[in-house]
Amino acid sequence: MNLGGGRYVPGSDSSAMDTSGPSSNYDPFTGAGRYIPGGNSTSNRPTSHANQDPFTGAGRYVPNGDHNQTSRPLSASQTSALSKTKVVFVVFSNDKLFLFTLETHTDSPLTSSFPQTQYATMTNADTTKILSKLKAFNDSITGDGIRLSDSQVQQLTELINGNISNLEAKMDIVFQLLKWPIDKIFPILDIIRLLVMNSTICRYLFENEAKTKEFISQLLSYVQSDQSVNTMLVFRALTNLFSNELTEKYLIKNSNSIIPKTLLFLPITNKNTQFALANVILNYCIYSYKRKDQNFSKYLYDCYQEFLNVNLESDVAKCLILGLGTLFCTNADLVLDVRTTSKNNAKEFFTALDKSSSKYTADTLACLEQCRALVNNL
């Protein structure tokens, strides 16, 4: 198989859907428009897709690149309209002035705000490329009850595009796809992390205990140390599950199994997978603030011990800093601990970040200083 620059890779974060469709002799697996989960998008699209391989070409779908959370808007049937609120306030610390912006909105780049009050979501996607990859995999799948018929592919396409009529039959297709081989599962996982943004689909999956157990068990089975892309997409789905009240309750109820798994995998994954894992931690911190849950915030604060020796990419570090600052805003005892003890989780975390500061962006470093200042001004 040709493995050129345009193959499909799950996690691609292009900002707009490609609605033009493949041109003649264009291979959707390697060509310029292929799907790449987490892949870096580019604004310089090729003028011709002739003879490009959609699996390896320049436009393939790649789930491993830029994890910027800015995305195209979901359809009205997929998510509700976004609301935004911005508050700016000034803090003086050690003769320095810090501007804090509290801005709540969905699916935007992380802002240096304390506390974070709006759950992070990861919905950036090019569904055209995802479906192209899935269809190509489907052509190579063998075995009764696994390969989709043309009718089922059409139903799945409708579901992704927000058509939830005949939902049970369409969700049966999703469960059928979850039985695919591990090396072909990533487009299905990418689809799932989008589907869970739909409240009706969440009710279908989480109002029935047996259905929930089957779904989550199958989903988490793809979290494996040697499957970074699959792990990344599963944790993107978990990140998105916070945005629904019903699924939020499930994540909190099962936090004692999800958080340890998150902490286990964060040190051994690449930066894009790390970012998905860190977003789950951040969302748990946001939950503790929203519910003013003192005990849970203390548990999450203790989890920061696990990040001291982890090689954190800049955006991952910022995500965890925002989580820590949110915990400070939740529990005054944590702030008191930092102020009155020489050795504590926060100071050790800050020290660890200082050692890697040369590789962090100015934005992340500013967020770190703001978090330090927060301790002195709460």
For 288-310, write each residue's pLDDT tens digit.
999 999 999 999 999 999 999 99
HSE toward the beta carbon, residue 77, CA cutoff 13 A:
11
**What is the full DSSP assignment across 130-194?**
HHHHHHHHHHH--STTTSPPHHHHHHHHHHHTT--TTHHHHHHHHHHHTTS-GGG-HHHHHHHHH
Mean pLDDT of 315-337: 97
How do residues 38-68 score in pLDDT, each as one tens digit? 554 333 333 333 444 433 444 555 665 444 4
pLDDT at 157: 95
Establish if 174 belongs to a structural domain. Answer: yes
Establish if 312 belongs to a structural domain. Answer: yes
Asked if 279 contacts 235 with a C-beta cutoff of 8 angstroms, the reply is yes
User: How many domains, in total, are found in the chain?
Assistant: 1
Which amino acid, one-letter code, is at 344? N
Domain assignment of residue 346, given as a range: 134-377
Cis omega (within 30 of 0) for bond into 187: no
Look at residue 70 and tell me whether its pLDDT is greater than 60.
no
Share of the chain above pLDDT 90, in %: 66
Establish if 172 belongs to a structural domain. Answer: yes
Look at residue 9 and tell me whether its pLDDT is greater than 80.
no
Residue 157 structure tokens:
């396409």
Which amino acid, one-letter code, is at 205? L
pLDDT at 145: 72
Asked if 319 contacts 275 with a C-beta cutoff of 8 angstroms, the reply is yes
Q: Which residues pair with 99 in a beta bridge?
A: 90
- The CA distance from 293 to 316, in Å, is 24
Asked if 304 contacts 346 with a C-beta cutoff of 8 angstroms, the reply is yes
- The CA distance from 199 to 159, in Å, is 13
pLDDT at 103: 32
CB count in 10 Å sphere of residue 135 = 16
SS3 of residue 75 by DSSP: coil
Establish if 23 belongs to a structural domain. Answer: no
- Lowest mean pLDDT segment, chosen from 102-111, 123-132, 244-253, 336-345: 102-111
How do residues 247-269 score in pLDDT, each as one tens digit? 999 999 999 999 999 999 999 88
Handedness of CA 162, 70, 307, 378 (dihedral sign): negative
pLDDT at 141: 86
pLDDT at 169: 97
Establish if 32 belongs to a structural domain. Answer: no
Share of the chain above pLDDT 70, in %: 70
How do residues 341-371 score in pLDDT, each as one tens digit? 999 999 999 999 999 999 999 999 999 999 9
Q: How far is CA 276 from CA 49, 239, 325, in A?
A: 32, 7, 19
Task: Select the more confidently predicted residue: 274 or 34.
Answer: 274
Task: Select the more confidently predicted residue: 57 or 163.
Answer: 163
Mean pLDDT of 24-50: 41
Q: Kindly state the helix (H) or strand (E) to which residue 349 belongs, with its residue range.
A: helix 345-355
- Lowest mean pLDDT segment, chosen from 143-152, 190-199, 256-265, 352-361: 143-152
**CATH number of the domain that 195 lies in?**
1.25.10.10
pLDDT at 377: 85
Mean pLDDT of 315-331: 97
- The CA distance from 9 to 240, in Å, is 20
- The CA distance from 80 to 58, in Å, is 33
Mean pLDDT of 17-25: 34
pLDDT at 156: 96
- The CA distance from 287 to 259, in Å, is 13
Establish if 81 belongs to a structural domain. Answer: no
Instruction: Measure the CA dihedral 294/298/301/306, to 10°.
Output: -150
Helices (H), 178-313: 186-195, 199-206, 209-220, 228-241, 245-253, 255-265, 271-291, 294-303
- Radius of gyration of the chain from its Cα atoms, rounded to whole angstroms: 21
Backbone φ and ψ of 40, nearest 5°: -75, 130
- Lowest mean pLDDT segment, chosen from 33-37, 236-240, 310-314, 332-336: 33-37
Task: Select the more confidently predicted residue: 96 or 363.
Answer: 363
Establish if 162 belongs to a structural domain. Answer: yes
pLDDT at 7: 44
pLDDT at 142: 79
Backbone φ and ψ of 85, nearest 5°: -135, 135
**What is the full DSSP assignment across 296-314?**
HHHHHHHHGGGGTT----H
Backbone φ and ψ of 4, nearest 5°: -70, -170
